[in-house]
C-alpha cells in the first residue's frame, strides 16, 4: 500500500528491505561468501571495519529516504499526478547503475585506494549538494501560491540519487576487501541494516518531525505552526554530516594498509575486469536466449502491481490521511521485513525457487486489490477529519500481508538469480539481473502515475463546461466560486486494468517461468569453463 520507492535499492533494496531499492553489492558478497563456508567468523580486527561499513550504508540510506519523502510533500502542495510521474524519474539511478559500475570498478588511483578514489569525492559531492539544496528547496517545492518546480526538483534529486548509487557501488566493492574472508558475510548485514536505518531516518523520522500536527500532539507542550524540522534544516544537517564523515574516512581509514597482512592479501586477491571486459560480459549476457526470456518476464511482471505500489499512498493523502501517519505505518512492519527473508529463504533454497514465486503472485494480486478498495472507502471511513484507530489497524494488517507475498517473490527471484549466475562473473551477472528487476518496477510506476490525470474526469461545480484539466481552468473554477470535483477517477480504472493484466500475464507466462527453471545451469553460462579455470590460475 505504501509506494515501493525503495524497490530499486532492495530488489535493490527491497529489495534495499528495502527498500532495493538493490542489494547488488549484497548479492556479490553472498556469492563470494559461498566459497568460504568452511571458515568460521572471526571478528578480531574487523569490528571497526564492520562499524565503518554500517555507518557508510546508513549515510547511503539518507538520500534514498529523502527522495521517498518528497512525493508526500509535493502531494500536500497540490502537485498533479503527472508531476509525480515526472519526479519518479529521480528513483531511476539505482536501477541503472550497472551502466557505469564497470567504470567505478576499473578507474581509480591505486595509491589512494581503489574504492576511496570514488567514495571520498562522491560523498563530498553528496554533502555539498545537500547544502545547496537546503538553500533553495523550499522555493522549488512550491506552496503559498507558488507552483512546485518539478522539472528542476527531478533533475536535482536524480543527481542526488546518482551520487548515492555511485557511493553504493564503491562501498559494495570495498566491503569485499575491507573484511576478512571469513567475515565477508557480515557485509550483507551491514548493507541491509545500515541502509534500512538510513532510509528510516530520511523518510519516516523526517516526515514525522516535519509535521506540525505530529510534533504538537506527541512532542510539544506548547503548539506551534511548524514542525520541529524543515527540509532545508534536515538537508543542511546531513550535508554537514556527510562532509565531516568523509573527511574522517579520507584521513584515518587506509584502504591498502601494508601493515595489515589480511587487507593486503585481500586486495591482491580481488579479481579485476577492465572496462572492455566488463561491458563485453554484459553484451554476452544480453545475447543469450534464456536471459532474453527472463528479461521479458522481469520487465513486465510488476505492471500488475503498479497502481497499488505507485498511487495508493498518494490517494490516501488526498483522502485526508496525514502523511506522517502513513510514514509511521512502516515502523510496525520493519520487524516483519527483517524476518520475512529468513523465513521465505527456507522454501527457496532448493532446486526450484520459482515455485514460490509463482505461488505468491495470486496472493499479491489479491492484496493489491484490497489496497485499492481501502483507498476507495477511505473518504467514508474518515469522518470530521479524524482518522479512527481501527483504520490504521486495517492499513497495517493489509500492508503487512502484502509485504509477505512481495518478499516471497523477491527472495525467490534472488535465489533463482544466485542459482543461474555464471560463477566466473557472478557479481556482474547478479547485478545485471537485479537491474532488470528494478527497471521492471520503475517504468510501470512512472507510466501509471502519469496516466492518472489523463484518465481522470473532473468538472467545475459552478461551470459544467470547465473540466479542470490544467491549472488555468482550476483557477478559473475557483474564481467562479466553484470547486473541481472528480466525476471519474482514473486510478480505479488503472487498478482494475492492472489486476486483469496480472491474471492474463500469469496464465500466459507461467509456462515460460517453468521452462526457465527446468533449464540446466550450462544454458546460462557466458564464460567457457576452460577460460574460467585459466583465469583462476
Question: How many angstroms separate the CA atoms of 308 and 370, rounded?
Answer: 9
pLDDT digits (tens, 9 = 90+) for 259-302: 344 545 544 444 556 788 778 888 888 899 999 999 999 999 99
Residues 460, 498 contacting (CB under 8 angstroms)? no
Do 248 and 362 belong to one domain?
A: no
Residues 3, 312 contacting (CB under 8 angstroms)? yes
* Mean pLDDT computed over every residue of the chain: 82
Looking at the domain assignment, is residue 97 inside a domain? yes
pLDDT digits (tens, 9 = 90+) for 137-180: 988 988 777 788 999 999 999 999 999 999 988 888 787 778 77
Q: What is the CATH number of the domain that holds 331?
A: 1.20.1250
Question: How do beta strands 484-488 and 457-460 pair?
Answer: antiparallel
Do 369 and 260 belong to one domain?
A: no
Looking at the domain assignment, is residue 537 inside a domain? no
Last residue of a domain, one of 238, 270, 302: 270
Do 369 and 234 belong to one domain?
A: no
Q: What pLDDT does residue 124 have?
A: 96
State whether residue 13 is helix, strand or coil: strand
For residue 336, is pLDDT > 90?
Answer: no
Beta bridge pairs of residue 109: 113
Looking at the domain assignment, is residue 276 inside a domain? no
State whether residue 221 is helix, strand or coil: coil
Do 69 and 116 belong to one domain?
A: yes
Do 422 and 444 belong to one domain?
A: yes
Do 357 and 222 belong to one domain?
A: no
148: enclosing H helix or E strand: none
pLDDT digits (tens, 9 = 90+) for 339-391: 877 788 778 777 788 999 999 999 999 999 999 999 999 988 887 667 888 99
Residues 6 or more apart from 441 whose CB is under 8 A from it?
Answer: 4, 7, 8, 11, 95, 302, 309
Do 255 and 386 belong to one domain?
A: no
Last residue of a domain, one of 208, 243, 270: 270
Do 178 and 326 belong to one domain?
A: no
Q: What is the CATH number of the domain that holds 162?
A: 1.20.1250.20
State whether residue 205 is helix, strand or coil: helix
Looking at the domain assignment, is residue 464 inside a domain? no
Q: What pLDDT does residue 280 have?
A: 85
324: enclosing H helix or E strand: helix 323-328
C-beta atoms surrounding 72 within 10 Å:
23
Do 298 and 240 belong to one domain?
A: no
Question: How many angstroms separate the CA atoms of 497 and 162, rounded?
Answer: 33
Looking at the domain assignment, is residue 143 inside a domain? yes
Do 233 and 293 belong to one domain?
A: no
Q: What pLDDT does residue 273 have?
A: 66
Looking at the domain assignment, is residue 277 inside a domain? no
Residues 6 or more apart from 4 whose CB is under 8 A from it?
Answer: 14, 21, 309, 310, 441, 445
Last residue of a domain, one of 215, 241, 270: 270
Q: Report in angstroms the alpha-carbon separations of 333 from 374, 393, 399.
A: 18, 12, 8
Residues 6 or more apart from 391 whose CB is under 8 A from it?
Answer: 378, 381, 382
Question: How many angstroms separate the CA atoms of 2 and 414, rounded?
Answer: 22
- The x, y and z cell numbers of residue 511, run together, are 509456462
Q: Report in angstroms the alpha-carbon separations of 33 from 25, 180, 261, 427.
A: 12, 11, 20, 12
Residues 184, 175 contacting (CB under 8 angstroms)? yes
Do 412 and 315 belong to one domain?
A: yes
Looking at the domain assignment, is residue 25 inside a domain? no
Confidence at 12, pLDDT banded by 50, 70, 90? very low
C-beta atoms surrounding 160 within 10 Å:
23
Question: How many angstroms separate the CA atoms of 357 and 406, rounded?
Answer: 9
11: enclosing H helix or E strand: strand 9-13
Q: Report in angstroms the alpha-carbon separations of 216 from 179, 220, 221, 222, 232.
A: 45, 5, 7, 7, 20
- The x, y and z cell numbers of residue 370, run together, are 484490497
Domain hosting 243: range is: 47-270
Residues 40, 438 contacting (CB under 8 angstroms)? no
For residue 189, is pLDDT > 90?
Answer: no
Residues 491, 371 contacting (CB under 8 angstroms)? no
State whether residue 113 is helix, strand or coil: strand
pLDDT digits (tens, 9 = 90+) for 297-327: 999 999 999 999 999 999 998 888 888 888 8
Tally the domains of the chain.
2
Do 251 and 290 belong to one domain?
A: no
Amino acid at each position: 500500500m505504501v509506494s515501493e520507492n525503495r524497490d530499486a535499492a532492495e530488489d535493490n533494496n527491497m529489495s534495499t528491505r528495502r527498500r532495493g531499492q538493490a542489494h547488488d553489492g549484497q548479492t556479490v558478497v553472498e556469492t563470494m561468501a559461498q566459497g568460504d563456508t568452511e571458515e568460521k567468523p572471526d571478528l578480531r580486527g574487523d569490528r571497526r571495519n564492520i562499524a565503518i561499513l554500517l555507518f557508510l550504508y546508513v549515510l547511503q540510506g539518507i538520500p534514498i529516504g529523502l527522495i521517498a519523502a518528497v512525493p508526500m510533500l509535493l502531494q500536500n502542495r497540490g502537485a498533479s499526478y503527472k508531476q509525480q510521474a515526472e519526479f519518479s524519474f529521480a528513483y531511476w539511478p539505482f536501477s541503472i547503475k550497472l551502466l557505469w559500475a564497470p567504470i567505478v570498478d576499473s578507474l581509480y588511483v591505486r595509491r589512494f585506494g581503489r574504492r576511496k578514489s570514488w567514495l571520498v569525492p562522491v560523498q563530498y559531492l553528496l554533502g555539498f549538494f545537500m547544502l545547496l539544496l537546503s538553500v533553495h528547496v523550499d522555493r522549488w517545492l512550491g506552496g503559498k501560491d507558488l507552483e512546485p518546480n518539478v522539472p528542476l526538483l527531478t533533475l536535482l534529486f536524480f543527481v542526488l540519487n546518482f551520487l548515492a548509487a555511485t557511493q553504493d557501488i564503491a562501498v559494495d566493492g570495498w566491503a569485499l576487501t575491507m573484511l576478512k574472508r571469513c567475515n565477508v558475510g557480515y557485509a550483507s548485514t551491514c548493507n541491509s541494516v545500515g541502509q534500512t536505518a538510513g532510509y528510516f531516518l530520511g523518510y519516516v523520522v523526517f516526515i514525522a518531525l516535519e509535521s506540525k500536527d505530529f510534533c504538537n500532539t506527541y512532542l510539544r507542550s506548547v503548539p506551534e505552526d511548524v514542525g520541529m524540522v524543515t527540509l532545508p534544516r534536515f538537508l543542511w544537517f546531513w550535508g554537514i554530516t556527510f562532509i565531516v564523515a568523509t573527511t574522517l574516512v579520507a584521513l584515518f581509514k587506509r584502504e591498502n594498509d601494508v601493515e595489515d597482512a589480511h587487507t593486503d592479501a585481500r586486495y591482491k586477491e580481488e579479481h579485476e575486469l577492465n572496462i572492455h571486459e566488463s561491458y563485453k560480459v554484459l553484451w554476452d549476457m544480453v545475447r543469450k536466449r534464456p536471459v532474453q526470456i527472463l528479461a521479458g518476464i522481469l520487465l513486465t511482471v510488476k505492471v500488475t502491481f503498479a497502481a497499488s505500489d505507485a498511487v495508493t499512498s498518494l490517494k490516501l493523502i488526498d483522502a485526508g490521511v496525514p502523511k506522517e501517519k502513513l510514514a509511521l505505518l512502516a515502523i510496525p512492519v520493519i520487524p516483519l521485513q527483517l524476518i520475512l527473508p529468513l523465513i521465505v529463504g527456507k522454501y527457496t533454497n532448493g532446486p526450484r525457487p520459482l515455485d514460490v514465486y509463482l505461488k505468491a503472485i495470486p496472493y499479491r494480486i489479491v492484496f493489491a486489490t484490497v489496497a485499492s478498495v481501502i483507498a476507495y472507502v477511505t473518504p467514508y471511513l474518515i469522518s470530521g477529519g479524524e482518522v479512527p484507530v481501527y483504520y490504521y489497524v486495517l492499513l497495517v494488517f493489509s500492508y503487512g500481508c502484502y509485504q509477505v507475498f512481495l518478499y516471497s517473490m523477491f527472495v525467490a527471484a534472488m535465489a533463482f538469480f544466485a542459482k543461474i549466475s555464471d560463477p566466473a562473473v557472478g557479481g556482474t551477472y547478479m547485478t545485471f539481473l537485479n537491474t532488470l528487476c528494478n527497471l521492471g518496477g520503475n517504468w510501470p510506476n512512472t507510466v501509471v502515475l502519469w496516466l492518472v490525470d489523463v484518465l481522470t474526469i473532473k468538472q467545475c461545480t459552478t461551470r459544467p463546461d470547465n473540466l479542470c484539466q490544467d491549472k488555468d481552468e482550476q483557477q478559473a473554477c475557483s474564481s467562479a466560486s466553484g470547486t473541481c470535483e472528480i466525476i471519474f477517477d482514473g486510478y480505479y480504472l488503472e487498478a482494475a486494468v492492472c489486476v486483469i493484466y496480472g491474471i492474463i500475464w500469469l496464465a500466459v507466462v507461467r509456462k515460460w517461468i517453468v521452462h526457465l527453471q527446468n533449464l540446466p545451469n550450462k544454458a546460462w553460462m557466458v564464460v567457457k569453463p576452460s577460460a574460467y579455470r585459466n583465469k583462476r590460475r
